[in-house]
Amino acid sequence: MESLQYLSPTTQFVLFSALKILVVFGVVMTGVAYAVLVERKVSAWIQDRVGPNRTSPFFVDYIPVIGPFLVRLGIFQPMADGLKFMLKEDFTPSYVRKIYFWLAPAITVVPALMTVAVIPFGSTLGSEKMVIADLNVGILYTFGIVSLGVYGIVLAGYASNSKYPFLGGIRSSAQMISYEIAMGLSVVPIFLLTESLNLGDIVKYQADHGWMILKQPVAFVIFLIAAFAETNRLPFDLPESETELVGGYHTEYSSMKFALFFLGEYANMIASSAMMVTLFCGGWTLPGTLLSTPSSSLLVGLLHIGVFLSKMAVFMIVFIWVRWMLPRFRYDQLMDIGWRRFIPVALANILLTAVVVAL
């Protein structure tokens, strides 16, 4: 660490940013792989099955005692899944619009990964702030990037050039725009209270004044439900809805291109869990302990990151749990609750909070 002091501030900034980007990317990718495993295990338990419990690579024999246990938990399943996706035949139907067909999976994944850039996932490690980009308009950046995510699905539907994917694409564009409004309106009361758009400031406010989920429960409920719609998860997975649209927008996709849509969905779930933790559940802080203030000690810094990741895991499990418990909404019901319930309620919530703040 001594030699780092001789580097110019710019070089240090570039170096640390690159390091943080790499680490966060790695964590999100691992998170995606294991979220898929958790999804399969949780669905299995809910449906009274066992789930993946067979994948056992050759080195398991060398792990004493816990080796077979890990196999039963399916810890090695994501490796096999990844390998399967890469080795399957990448089939491109003859009738698709080639350029968009190739672009769409990438356009789905990139915004999902970019949203995590502004999220403060810890306090500090040494003197480095644990956020990739400490933007003053952090939350607006997130909404901007999230709103670009819809292009991947719309273009996939358009590029496939067949009717069910097309219907899926059209549905998703209407659904995501509708719920973006409700989502955007639901977080306005938070800014009225914290007087800042910076996510770090919002975490600090919650450390001093208590969590937002207690002060703004209505906003939290609207944000949570809108997050389900934005990530296309059940009960709002109408762009996919396999019982009526075959597989929706990704019907024509196979192999790694399909895996990218899959990855995008789970990365979106991770990003929205991280947003909910930051906005409503105090981010990396843990009230009542020494962990609610930034510290220069390396151990406390790591603990903060651990607290953040544990809170995120709770939200991920809620996402997965809900998927296997609730039936799908009908399309008109989806639009109806979006436009005629959530948006008016969110507006009323803004007005109420503004009056309280003004008083």
Q: Which residues are near another protein by CB under 8 A?
A: 100, 135-137, 140-141, 143-148, 150-151, 154-155, 158, 166, 169-170, 173-174, 176-177, 180, 195, 197
At its nearest, how many Å lie between another protein and the CB of residue 179?
12
Nearer Cβ to another protein (36/167): 167
Nearer Cβ to another protein (170/256): 170
Nearer Cβ to another protein (175/285): 175
Q: What is the 8-class DSSP label of residue 79? A: H
Q: Which of 118, 141, 115 is nearest to 264 (CA)?
A: 115
Crossing angle between the packed helical segments 163-194 and 343-358, to the nearest 10 degrees: 10
Nearer Cβ to another protein (170/345): 170
At its nearest, how many Å lie between another protein and the CB of residue 70?
43
Helix (H) or strand (E) holding 164: helix 163-194
Tell me the sheet residues that pair with 128. 125
Nearer Cβ to another protein (145/213): 145
At its nearest, how many Å lie between another protein and the CB of residue 172?
10
* DSSP result, 83-108: HHHHHS-----TTS-HHHHHHHHHHH
Q: Angle 54-55-56 (CA atoms, 0-180°, nearest 5)?
A: 105
Nearer Cβ to another protein (181/318): 181
What whole-number distance in Å separates Cα of residue 313 and Cα of residue 295? 24
At its nearest, how many Å lie between another protein and the CB of residue 201?
12
What 3-state class would DSSP assign to 17? helix
Nearer Cβ to another protein (151/261): 151
At its nearest, how many Å lie between another protein and the CB of residue 196?
9
Nearer Cβ to another protein (73/170): 170
At its nearest, how many Å lie between another protein and the CB of residue 144?
4
What whole-number distance in Å separates Cα of residue 97 and Cα of residue 120? 40
What whole-number distance in Å separates Cα of residue 317 and Cα of residue 304? 20
CA neighbours closer than 13 Å in the CB half-sphere of residue 90: 10
Q: Are 192 and 350 in contact (CB under 8 A)?
A: yes
Using the structure block, give the residue that is written with the tokens 């564009």: 173
At its nearest, how many Å lie between another protein and the CB of residue 98?
12
At its nearest, how many Å lie between another protein and the CB of residue 151?
7
CA neighbours closer than 13 Å in the CB half-sphere of residue 326: 16
